[in-house]
Amino acid sequence: MRALDAFRHALLIAAGLTASSLALADTCSGRVNGVTETASTFQVEKGHTMTVFMNFNIGTSEDSVVNAAGRCGGYAITTPDGKTRVVGVCVRKASNGDSWADEWVLEPGAKRGTWKQIGGTGVFAGKNWSGWWEPISDDGKLFMGRWGGNCG
């Protein structure tokens, strides 16, 4: 996967919604939408390409409190063997002012990424939520995806 393609998929992750979970075991699910703010791609060294990015994103859910907007940032690194790994972090704020942060990863060749919560305030405080995410559409600037996981 090329770094730019991985970056585009990573933007979906940037929605901050990503640890493996079976769909039947999900206690929460929803959609994620995002808009690229900045992205810079460059060849680091002989076949190593890196893309660094920031984006605006919104995560929504009909079956949980995960309804918030914020920003994500991260990187995609492609090694000389053509494998790309994407890593990032997001922070979002809900309409009541409570916020939460998560980190995520998309391993080389994976259709789905994983996410886990790393902190929160208010209704998001003390949670150990985690799950999966996957893209629905992505043109490099605008993207949509879906996610699920354990938000119990």
Q: Which pLDDT value is given to residue 135?
A: 83
Q: Which pLDDT value is given to residue 30?
A: 96
* Contact assessment for residue 51 and residue 73, using Cβ atoms and an 8 Å cutoff: no
**Three-state secondary structure string covering 80-113:** CCCCEEEEEEEEEECCCCCEEEEEEEECCCCCCE
Q: Which pLDDT value is given to residue 17?
A: 45
Q: Which pLDDT value is given to residue 65?
A: 92
Q: Which pLDDT value is given to residue 138?
A: 81
**Domains in the chain and their CATH numbers?**
3-137+144-150 (2.40.350.10)
To which H or E segment does residue 146 belong? strand 142-150
From the first residue on, what is the mean pLDDT of each consecutive set of 10 residues in the chain (152 residues)?
52 44 72 93 90 94 93 94 94 96 94 95 95 87 92 84
CA 19/CA 39 separation, integer angstroms:
25
Q: How far is CA 27 from CA 21, 65, 66, 115, 146, in A?
A: 10, 11, 12, 14, 14
Q: Which pLDDT value is given to residue 3?
A: 52
